[in-house]
Amino acid sequence: METAETPHPGATEGRLNRVTILDENGHRGSDPDFDPYIEHVTLDDLKSSYATMLTVRRFDDEATSLQRQGKLALWVPSKGQEAAQVGSARAIPKNDYIFPSYREHALAYERGVDLRDMMRVFRGYAPGGWDPREHRFNLYSFVLASQIPHAVGYAMGQKLDRQLGIGQEEHSDDAEAGGSEATVVYFGDGASTEGEAHESMVFAASYDAPVLFFVQNNKWAISVPFSTQSRLPLAERAAGYGFEGIRVDGNDLLGVQAVTAYAMDKIHRGEGPVLIEAETYRLGAHTTADDPTKYRTRDEEDEWTTKDPLVRLEKHLRLEGVGDDFFEEANQRAKEYGAEIREAVLAMEAPTLDGVFDHVYAEENSLVEEERAWFHEYEAGFEDAETQEGGR
């Protein structure tokens, strides 16, 4: 059986080294290029990152169970990718706009999205779930790679705004961002081979768009191994477009945080775009409708289980003297969060079809109102209309 990393015999040698700061045993190494970007990260910051990762892991498990119990239509597990998401989220200035794919649950959590709202999307009760502008975190994009041109277009707009001086006063006190705004787009190894990804990178380079392409390479595009997607690390592709590519161990929280901070700094200075490839692994199924045992071996899964980003960060924290009581408390909190999510899902009320008419236009529209009236009349025309009414 082909594994995710079988090299192609004709592949050429890549030149980029993979950045790792926390090794698999939790020991912190040093990297002269990137160390300055995480100097400010304290032990408490790391503990807080760990707590977030654990909470989202628990949330993810609960959502998977809820789908198996028929309470969600579908679930997309993020298990194994928490370090790549939390690490990068913590290095992106709050004013920057994020375009996620559909597996960025930890990122959503970091951006303050109420994950109970996300559950409504996966129950088929809401088309969006949250206000993207409030969290500067766009809606999930279920059409593969479609968010990449959106993001690049948005970033091109940000650049035009800057040239015209629009929105400057809003951010003028934001020293971290240097008064500017940037965009980050998340996608996976599978989406990286879509045409939109290529076109977007060409445009981003042509127009100096302030955008970070953040690839979570989780090794499997549903059942297609990464070795089929690309002969070279994806970060190498950036050179072809003329901008910088960085490879980072995606299960190393500090490594991801450092390279992302470096990239955002560079992009805000107007020297973007940048592409970061975080090499991680999807420990779960592609979605709950997928059975990974059909295309990958147990051995491969076991190997990556030992590389679990949570385990690595826990090792590091323990080396730094963090005791059992912290982990117990974090576990307890995560468990409670899972229970809250379950409670919220079970209590969800189905949306009314009437609601569809509410969001066609921002303001009342006579044509839409006419259609609404017609629909009400149509619905009332069924013999069982009264009994159905309650549920709709």
Partner 1 sequence: MSSIFNLPDVGEGLTEAEILSWKVGPGSPVQINDVLVEIETAKSVVELPSPFAGTVEKIIAEEGVTVEVGAPLVSVTVTASADGSESEPEADTTGPASGPELPADDVDSTTTVAEKEADSLAAQAAPAAGDVDQAAVPDNASASEGSDAQTAALVGSGPKADPVKRRARKRRSSGGAASGRSEESVHAADGATQPSEKLLTQILNRAPLQGGTFGSGIAERARKLAEEGRGALKRFPGRAADQPMAQAEAHRTVGSEPPRRPALAKPPVRKAAKDLGIDLADVPATGSNGQVTQRDLVNYAAHAQDVESHKPSNFWVEQGSQEDRIERVPVKGVRKATAKAMVKSAFEAPHVSIFVDVDATRTMEFVKRLKSSPTFEGVKVTPLLILAKAVIWATARNPQVNSQWTDSEILIKRFINLGIAAATPRGLMVPNIKDAQDLSLRELAVALNALTKTAREGKTQPGDMSGGTLTITNIGALGIDTGTPIINPGEAAILAFGTIKQKPWVVDGEVIPRWVTTLGGSFDHRIVDGDLSARFVADVASVLEEPALLLDM
Give the residue numbers annotated as catalytic, written as ranges.
282, 286, 295
Q: How far is the CB of 334 from partner 1 (least distance, A)?
A: 14
Q: 339 or 360: whose CB is closer to partner 1?
A: 339
User: How many Cβ atoms are within 10 Å of 211's Cβ, its own excluded?
Assistant: 34
Q: How far is the CB of 298 from partner 1 (least distance, A)?
A: 9
Record the tokens describing residue 364, joined without a space: 């009342």
Residues 6+ apart with CB under 8 A from 380: none
320 contacts 42 by C-beta, under 8 angstroms: no
* C-alpha–C-alpha distance, residues 318 and 350, integer Å: 45
Please give the single-letter amino acid code of residue 372: R
Strands of the 244-249 sheet, one edge to the other: 18-19, 244-249, 274-279, 211-217, 183-188, 97-99
250 contacts 199 by C-beta, under 8 angstroms: no
Q: 157 or 351: whose CB is closer to partner 1?
A: 351
User: How many Cβ atoms are within 10 Å of 311's Cβ, its own excluded?
Assistant: 14
Q: How far is the CB of 293 from partner 1 (least distance, A)?
A: 7
Q: How far is the CB of 291 from partner 1 (least distance, A)?
A: 3
- C-alpha distances (whole Å) from 215 to each of 20, 139, 161, 206, 279 are 16, 18, 26, 20, 8
* C-alpha–C-alpha distance, residues 248 and 17, integer Å: 8
User: How many Cβ atoms are within 10 Å of 334's Cβ, its own excluded?
Assistant: 21
Q: 349 or 363: whose CB is closer to partner 1?
A: 349
* C-alpha–C-alpha distance, residues 119 and 71, integer Å: 10
49 contacts 260 by C-beta, under 8 angstroms: no
Give the three-state DSSP class for 213: strand
Q: How far is the CB of 86 from partner 1 (least distance, A)?
A: 24
Q: 90 or 123: whose CB is closer to partner 1?
A: 123
Q: 160 or 350: whose CB is closer to partner 1?
A: 350
Q: 162 or 286: whose CB is closer to partner 1?
A: 286
Q: How far is the CB of 155 from partner 1 (least distance, A)?
A: 33
Please give the residue ranges that form the binding site for partner 1 (CB under 8 A).
1-2, 61-62, 65, 67-74, 123-124, 285, 287-291, 293-295, 297, 342-343, 346-350, 381-385, 388, 390-392
How does DSSP assign 68-79, residue by residue? HTTSSS-----T
